[in-house]
Amino acid sequence: MSDEEKKDAGVDRRAFLKTAAATAGIASAAPAITLAQAAEGAQGHGAKGEGARHVEVIERPGSDFMVDVIKSLDLEYMSLNPGSSFRALHESLINYGNNKAPELITCMHEEAAVAMAHGYSKAAGKPMGVAVHGTVGLQHATMAIYNAWVDRVPIVMFAGNGLDITKRRPGTEWNHSVQDPALIARDFLKWDDYPMSLTHFAESAVRAYKIAVTPPMEPVLVTADIDLQEEPAHDAARLVVPKLAQSVPPQGDRGALAEAAKWLVEAKNPVIIADRCARTPAGVKRLVALAEALQAPVVDLGGRMNFPNTHPLYQGAKRSLMKDADVVLLLEVADPFGQFNSIADPTKKLTHYANKDARVVNISMQDVFLHSNYQDFQRYWPVDLSINGDAEASLPALTDEVQRLLTDGHRRAFAERGKKLKDAHAKSRKHALEEAAVGWEGSPVSTARMCMELYALIRNEPWCLAVSDRLAAPRKLWDITEHHQALGGAGAQGVGYCAPGSLGVALANKTRGRFTVTFQPDGDLNYSPGVLWTAAHHRIPILYVMFNNRAYLHETMHIQRMAGVHGRDVSRSHIGTTIDNPFVDYAKLAQAYGVWAEGPIDDPSKLAASFRRAIDVVKSGHPALVDVVCQGA
């Protein structure tokens, strides 16, 4: 930092404190305290220390150096719920780091802080930072970390903690200390470390970032020890921030890709299945190039937006394709077994619905890095050619090999295949429209009507659907052509992702000129409704359309199924699964948090006008919520 920057960053504030023993914080929000009081922990939560009266100002706390390190990581934002185990880092981020790159985003729950970073990362194409209280904060954060883990999303997290027992204040600080903070989340972290010096912190933070963004991308955690944060950075002049070196995503073995190309070109009925294949917009173009070279159908499972749904080769998830498939190419598919088999619920009857003789090529990083405890690796499926590599990085070589093999004969045959697929695509689009018309006038509103009323108003905006795996209608009926338009879902179906995850997407979109919309399930919002306050406080433009079925409806259906199997009355399945008596007034809830809101709306003819008003609010740079009372799950 230059002297000018330091001044700008408020480093001079410390000099001011030194002479004046003056005030801290925002007068309206926090009572002014003297340095002596601060040293005594007079404002401390549960601390009753004897505290020295004489306070020496620490000119260069370790936490300032930590900020230098964090600033080298190009993190636009860092979400947090405050906690004293990282209070020095927090203060340094504000006053030394000037609350810029990263800018702090205040969250009301650690799960929301991590889920915001999860959504942000997918929309921005780079990680966001998170700071958490090492013990209780991480306990809250874990499900969101697990979601990101399963979704292969990089998040760079910092936890505060104190190891040295001689420095811990009695009481709370012991309750909030842990030998090994990352332990609780280690099964779903790619890497973590507990640095014991500032140089160690610098190396580990940079290493953590590098590891997080190397496919398979995953969350990482570095603990910032409280004493390292709060003690002076000894030898400050000699501390260096190591250069961040990012790895080139690994391409699969060229010979194996050539073999795969041979199989695909020779196939009569090849099928391409993509899940988390396209990490960037380039990935979509690469998949289009391969599919067009082969005139092969693409099944997009939607973990990412892999392929335009307007493209004639886009075929949705069709089992019929798999019946005739002779070569199947899996591109970063989370569940290979599930593409060939189903297990009926509740009978658990196994059906193998694909052609048994199909040859399968799997391009994935799944075997390269996985953990044992949590079972997100899914059931083993024996493939014929397993290629360890990043799918997006491997596609150009695969397409080159395909192109090299093509003869005029192939091209003629492929053109024929392409025509048939084009017809099938048009038919399924028509069928989806007919399906959407069912219950169009119904009240409560049908989910398809809710989706299409909104789409009519935003289709010419640079829209982004923050969570795209919950409702079928947008996937089938909205023209999804850009990578950023459909960002998949929670990853591990941990409910509570949609509200904060969407807000993280909106945070990324704010500076990228995109208009963020999300269909917000009611059950999901209630895990962390404080997200609405974060949206209002940080002026994050997003349109929350409540998809309010007044229930944990998926669970209602599970109970109904069980009642059926047990030969009992299904009419009591609402017990423990519905959100009624009283209904939640989501418009009032949002308003209480400072968000513009309308509803509940159960008359579909009233949707358009309300959506229009909400869209104007969002366009003016603020969040808005429309509560739509829906049927369906």
The contact set with ligand TPP (CB under 6 A) reads: 143, 493-496, 521-524, 549, 551-555, 633
Pairing of strands 341-343, 350-352: antiparallel
Minimal CB distance residue for ligand TPP? 523
3-state SS track over 447-484: HHHHHHHHHHHHCCCCEEECCCCCCHHHHHHCCCCCHH
Is 361 or 551 the residue whose CB approaches Mg ion more closely? 551
> Mapped to the 3 state alphabet, what secondary structure does 269-314 carry?
CEEEEECCCCCCHHHHHHHHHHHHHHCCCEEECCCCCCCCCCCCCE
Nearest-approach distance from CB 445 to ligand TPP, in angstroms: 14
Residue 111 touches which member of Mg ion, ligand TPP, none, C-beta under 5-8 Å by kind: none
3-state secondary structure at position 47 = coil
Closer by beta carbon to Mg ion, 160 or else 523: 523
By CB under 5 A, residue 496 contacts Mg ion = no
CB nearer to Mg ion: give 434 or 580.
Answer: 580
- Among 506, 497, 587, residue whose Cα is nearest residue 540: 506
Partner in contact with 524, chosen from Mg ion, ligand TPP, none, beta carbon below 5 to 8 Å by kind: ligand TPP
Nearer to ligand TPP by Cβ, of 299 and 525: the residue is: 525
Calculated CA dihedral for residues 61, 65, 68, 72, nearest 10 degrees? -150
Subset of residues 535 to 554 that bind Mg ion, contact rule: CB under 5 A = 549, 551, 553
* Shortest separation between residue 486's beta carbon and ligand TPP, angstroms: 18
Nearest approach, Cβ of residue 299 and Mg ion (Å): 28
As a whole number of angstroms, the distance between CA 339 and CA 350 comes to 13
- The interface partner of residue 114, options being ligand TPP, Mg ion, none and the CB cut-off 5 to 8 Å by kind, is none
* C-alpha span between 84 and 62 (Å, rounded): 15
Among 160, 474, 523, 623, binds Mg ion (CB under 5 A): 523
Task: Compute CA 624 distance to the chain's CA centroid, rounded to the nearest angstrom.
Answer: 21
Residue 521 sits in the site that holds Mg ion (CB under 5 A): yes
To 10 degrees, what angle do helices 447-458 and 408-437 make? 110
Q: Could you tell me where the beta strands, DSSP code E, fall in 466-541?
A: 515-521
Which one of Mg ion, ligand TPP, none is in contact with 493 (Cβ closer than 5 to 8 A by kind)? ligand TPP
CB of 493 to ligand TPP, least distance (A): 5
Residue 146 CB coordination number (10 Å)? 22
Q: Which is nearer to Mg ion, 192 or 524 (CB)?
A: 524
- Minimum CB separation of residue 450 from Mg ion in Å reads 13
* Phi, psi angle pair for 223, to nearest 5°: -90, 135
Q: Which is nearer to ligand TPP, 81 or 520 (CB)?
A: 520
Could you give phi then psi for residue 530, rounded to 5 degrees?
-60, -15
DSSP 546: E
Which C-beta is closer to ligand TPP: that of 307 or that of 527? 527
488 binds, among Mg ion, ligand TPP, none (CB under 5 to 8 A by kind): none
Q: How far is the CB of 531 from ligand TPP (least distance, A)?
A: 14
> Where do contacts with Mg ion occur on this chain (CB under 5 A)?
521-523, 549, 551, 553
